[in-house]
Structure 1
């Protein structure tokens, strides 16, 4: 059984309202002062559509956003969501954002603009995968402790 999904808390100027939440999946409305709300879906990768698509960790979280009008809005919202997830879930190794090959998930934002917006929010492209309903390009955001490299090649960690 995957780890329970924590409810993220957003720092001002952001606020959120949970519309549904379970142990492994959640949906909320995210608002920034003076802006319309964006729908955010989060799910443990181990319990969702990506569970057999790439090497996942028990605390990885897939994020999906809906209702965005521009790539700038996507970048800003993704950055806020990642910050809130890492604040609520210190052991999350990867926040995953999947871009559909046909770009249908973001409506007016093209696939390439969606990828560029995610990269501007700190994500990096990892791999293309096929799931039952579509082909996805997976991008991940990882905290510094996951990507740190010990340059001291003479030192064995833990010794």
Structure 2
């Protein structure tokens, strides 16, 4: 059974509402500007990305949307995504990837995500849309053993 991602501590973001069910945590946050932002953290193994790539049990998809019309400003999105990555990785030390599915071709959101530490990986077709996957990974996942002449035992 897939468990929901643990609650995250987002210092600097006022939490307006929070709920958890099955493999999802939903939170509405209020930033310094006063704008409300909906954040959903979903275990990839139980969410819409479960067949999009070889998921790990602890991978978390981040979904961000404005609670009101108008979207999230790029600078605010970058700040929020950066804070979310740090909070998710701190709350779940076994998390290998924090994944952001961006509508394919949305270069503004991709740039904001890259500024927050994500890197573009691949475009995938989901049943309802085509998305670009960007990931943020902890250092222990991306570390390279430079001793290429030694086979680990």
User: TM over 0.5: same fold?
Assistant: yes
Residue equivalent to 1:10: 10
Which stretches of structure 1, 4 residues or longer, exceed 6 Å deviation after superposition?
none
Shift in Å at residue 34 of structure 1? 4.6
Residue equivalent to 1:44: 43
Check conservation: 2:74, 2:109, Cα contact below 8 A.
yes
Residue equivalent to 1:129: 124
Specify the SS of the correspondent of 1:47. Answer: coil
Shift in Å at residue 23 of structure 1? 3.1
- Report the RMSD for the aligned CA atoms in angstroms: 1.6
Residue equivalent to 2:20: 21
Residue equivalent to 2:139: 144
Does residue 78 of structure 1 match 2:76? no
**Matched residue count:** 149
Matches of 1:91 and 1:21 in 2, distance apart? Answer: 19
Change beyond 3 A, Cα 1:69–1:4: closer
Match of 2:104 among 97, 101, 111: 101
Q: Is the deviation greater in 66-75 or in 137-146? A: 66-75
Change beyond 3 A, Cα 1:90–1:18: farther
Q: Which 5+ residue runs of structure 2 have no aligned equivalent?
A: none
Q: Is the deviation greater in 19-28 or in 142-151? A: 19-28
Q: Which 5+ residue runs of structure 1 have no aligned equivalent?
A: 103-110
Residue equivalent to 2:94: 91
Check conservation: 1:5, 1:22, Cα contact below 8 A.
no
Q: Normalised by the size of structure 1, how large is the TM-score?
A: 0.86
Shift in Å at residue 155 of structure 1? 3.2
Q: Normalised by the size of structure 2, how large is the TM-score?
A: 0.89
Shift in Å at residue 35 of structure 1? 3.0
Show the 5 A alignment for 1:27-66.
Answer: 27-66=26-65
